[in-house]
Structure formats: C-alpha cells, structure tokens
Structure 1
Amino acid sequence: MEKQTKIALVTGGSRGLGRNAALALSRKGIDVIVTYYKEKDHADTVVQEIERGGRKAAALQFDAGRVASFDHFVSRLSDVLQSTWGRDRIDYLVNNAGFGVNAPIASTTEEQFDSLMNVNFKGVFFLTQKLLPLIADNGGIVNISSGLTRFSFEGNGAYAAMKGAVEVLTRYMAKEWGHRGIRVNTIAPGAIATDFSGGRVRDNSEVNAFISSKTALGRVGEPQDIGGVIASLCTTEMSWLNAQRIEASGGMVL
C-alpha cells in the first residue's frame, strides 16, 4: 500500500519564518497549506515554489485575530482538503501567524495589548480548538513562541507575556491530546532578520550588532535557521518529543 502523504497547515506562511517553514516542510516530502493575511501574491509565490519542488500546496486567506471568522476558515480548509487531496484531515499544524509591538509596559496601550492578545494567544487557542477535529491521530502541533520568554529586553513585555502563555498552553495541549498520539511542542526563536516588528533586527545596524554581541554564534538569526527546526518536529524522527520548549537562538544571552 502506498504511504499516505502528510499535510501541514502553516499560518502566516506567506513570508518570514512561516514561508521558510513551509518550504522546509515541502523538502521533507510534506504537502503544505499556507495562510496569509493580506499579501496573496506572496502566498501564491510560496505555493508555486513548493509545487516546483514536486509537492502539492494551497493558500488560504486567514485573519488570526478574528475568532468570529474561524468557523468559515475551517470550512474553506475542509473544502480545499477535499478538492486538492481527497482528504478530510491535516497531519500537522504550525501556529506561526503573529506580530510584535515594541513599547515599554508603562506606555503600552490597551489597544496594542488587545491586538497582541487576539493574534498571538487567543487566536492560537481557538484556532487549534476549531481545527482539532481535522488533525489526524498521531499528528503534531508546533506553536511558535520567542526567546523573549527566557531573556528580557525592554519594550517587549506585552508580546513576551503572550508568548509565555502560549508555552504554558502547549504543555496543556500535549497533556489533553496525548491519548490521540498528537504531539505538541514550542519553538522559541531568538532575534531573526525578517520584517517582523518593522524589520528592526534586519534593518537597524545598531540592533543587529547588539544582538550579534549577545549571541554565542556571533550573528543574528536568519529565517532558514528556524524553518528546518520547525519542519523537523513534523517528522517521525521526532515522534518521542512532546510538550517541549525548544529555543533556536544561536545561544542568545547565555
């Protein structure tokens, strides 16, 4: 019997870490569905690149901060699974969609706080809840956190707190869904040179140099440093790894 292809859903997969994770998953023989918020052209480019590599892929619009839209998203996902794969399940979920706000606690607004909460924690909680019936037994979930839950840099208090909540949630997900063989782990990237938070790490030479000086490997991270780690968690080689926080930071602030 031919082995069934695995399918992964990567939220926020049109750019940055999500894009790199989607491509890394495809190189491991996993088909990929990516979501995008506004940049459909970027998502379509990712799909095309995956397809050129011989895997199937699809892109769906998704607003990670609007829980009221999740039922409709799950319905569209089910349609795509049937039309493209003849399937009704995904095997892996990568909760990557998110954004940051750089503001001291003393000046963080309620609007900023709520936006961070809606996307980075509430969205993860309820999207995973909604998708649980669509995740195959013995599948896996990878939640994206941040190195900022271990080390502290001023201006990241609210964002880091949301990611800390995701790390606790990861352990509870692993506990509650282990009877189905679903593994749930957290990847905590260090500072990565993407357009995240306005591209501060990538484009600000002072920030870049500071992070490099605090990192054992002597440089800031690149998206390809993280994508492969995420993809590796979606393989049988990692089947006994569960409820773990894995920091991929090159050794920041040791």
Structure 2
Amino acid sequence: MSNKIALVTGGSRGLGRDMAINLAKKGIDVIITYHSNQEAANEVITEIEANGQKAIALQLDVTQISSFDTFISSLKNSLKSSFGTDKIDYLVNNGGFIHFSPLKDVNENLFDELLNVHFKGPFFLTQKLLENMNNGGGIVNVSTGLARFSKPGFGTYAAMKGAVETLTKYQATELGAKHIRVNVVAPGPIETDVMGGVVRDNKDMNAHLASETALGRVGLPDDIGSVVAFLCTDDAKWINGQRIEISGGMIL
C-alpha cells in the first residue's frame, strides 16, 4: 500500500516547515511549495527524507492565480515521476504573510495582497486541486487567533482569515460526498521569523503576549505542526468543519 501524500503551501519556512516535518513523522510523503527560497526548501526536503519519507519541493506564488494551471500540470508530472500516482490525499493551505497596519492606513494594493495570499489564492488553488485529490483525504486551512480576538493593526489580515473560517465550513459541507474532511487551525502568536521575528526576538513583546496566555508562554512552531499532522491522519477521521485554535489559551 502506497503512502498518503500531503501538499503544504509555504512549506519552506516557519510554520509550514514544521507542518511538513511533522507530516513526515506520521508516515506521510510530502510536497512543499516555496515562493523564492529554493535552498531553504531543499533543507526541508533533506530533513523529511531523514525521517524516511519521500518529499519534493515546487515553486508557487499563491497570489498569482493565473499560474495555478501551470503549477498543477507540474505537480501532476512530479507526482507521477516521484510517487507513481497523479493524486494527493491532503492539502494544507498555509502559505502567507502577516502585515501590521491600522485600518485607516490600509491602501488598496495592500488590501489586494492580503486578499490574494490569504483568501483568493487558497480558494482557487483548492478548487483547482480537487480533481487531483483522493476521496477520503483532507484539507487543513490556516487562520489566526486574531479572527476571534482583536489586536489593533491586524484588522485587514484577520478579516481575510475570518473569510477562510467561513469558507472551511462550506468546503466541509460540499466535499462531504467525497469524504474529504476540511478543518481550520487558528494559531496564536508563534516564535518564527514572521514580521521580522518580533514575537521571537522582542523580549517585551514576547513577555506581554505570554502574560495574555493561560499557559504562560507564546507558541513554538512545533505546537502547530503536530496538530496539523494529526488532522491529516485517520485518528482525526471524525473531525470535520471545525475551527481548532492553537494558542495555549490566549485571551480566554
């Protein structure tokens, strides 16, 4: 029996890297996409292979919807040559970035960038990938704790993620006939290089966010990746259409 295969967008760094590695630890083969840093992507591939799983990296700009057909054609060729199939089992819509800007300062270009990377891109990538997904698989979308509680400056980003959370329920409903489960995870603040590594490197910021969290610290990438990997296994076979916040209990 062949291994299951997961596709993780934005899998070369940060949370996506840890998701990909945790999927491999569950015995799942992994395809990651990267935006521009192929070297970082190759490092993730090496680590996945060290865990005994197959892995490849493909370039993708999730904001360029017009490139998706070409990407899927490349994906199908890579699936056949590397895995001997033309289908994946799991899709993790992780790629994206966070931008801090008060609502009064958001211009249309920034709005469109956030819309494309966090909502329009994942919407159409998922739509176009459906015919290349096996029945009985799953989709994990990525939201944010900021869709539940508000922090000034993150309103535009959080609004896009709120749309993803609503979309998740509809995807779960409409894909139920194919037994494809769709869930959304909502991380709290995490120590990564996002926004210049401010959560990780700014001690005052780190301490403040930890003080708002029931478990008394901010998150680490492994806090997220292990949950995403769990959702891509049969242990989570009856979890569907759910928002799972992974924040250590922030602002409860």
Identity %: 58
Whole-Å separation in 1 of the counterparts to 2:6 and 2:225: 13
| Alignment of 1:137 onto 2:135 | yes
Equivalent of 1:36 in 34, 44, 66: 34
Q: Over the residues paired in the alignment, what is the CA RMSD in angstroms?
A: 0.6
| Alignment of 1:27 onto 2:25 | yes
Equivalent of 1:57 in 40, 55, 66: 55
Runs of 4+ that moved beyond 6 A:
none
The TM-score with structure 2 as length reference comes to 0.99
Equivalent of 1:14 in 12, 18, 22: 12
Measure how far apart 1:204 and its partner are: 1.6
For residue 231 of structure 1, what is the aligned residue in structure 2?
Answer: 229
For residue 126 of structure 2, what is the aligned residue in structure 1?
Answer: 128
**Local SS of the residue matching 1:202:** helix
2:79 counterpart letter in structure 1: L
Whole-Å separation in 2 of the counterparts to 1:116 and 1:196: 15
Whole-Å separation in 1 of the counterparts to 2:15 and 2:92: 11
Measure how far apart 1:125 and its partner are: 0.2
Pairing 1:162-201 to 2, within 5 Å after superposition: 162-201=160-199
**Local SS of the residue matching 1:209:** helix
Measure how far apart 1:202 and its partner are: 1.1
**Local SS of the residue matching 1:123:** helix
Pairing 1:136-155 to 2, within 5 Å after superposition: 136-155=134-153
**Local SS of the residue matching 1:91:** strand
For residue 118 of structure 1, what is the aligned residue in structure 2?
Answer: 116
**Local SS of the residue matching 1:65:** coil
Measure how far apart 1:198 and its partner are: 2.0
Whole-Å separation in 1 of the counterparts to 2:116 and 2:203: 31
Measure how far apart 1:205 and its partner are: 1.7
**Local SS of the residue matching 1:94:** strand
Unaligned stretches of 5+ residues in structure 2: none
Question: What does the per-residue CA deviation read over 1:78-102, in whole Å, with 9 as the maximum and x for residues that have no partner?
Answer: 0100000110100000000011110
Whole-Å separation in 1 of the counterparts to 2:59 and 2:71: 8
State how many pairs are aligned.
Answer: 252
Whole-Å separation in 2 of the counterparts to 1:211 and 1:166: 24
Equivalent of 1:94 in 92, 95, 105: 92
Measure how far apart 1:124 and its partner are: 0.6
**Local SS of the residue matching 1:88:** coil
2:234 counterpart letter in structure 1: T
The TM-score with structure 1 as length reference comes to 0.98
Whole-Å separation in 2 of the counterparts to 1:205 and 1:54: 37
Whole-Å separation in 1 of the counterparts to 2:240 and 2:2: 23
Measure how far apart 1:4 and its partner are: 2.3
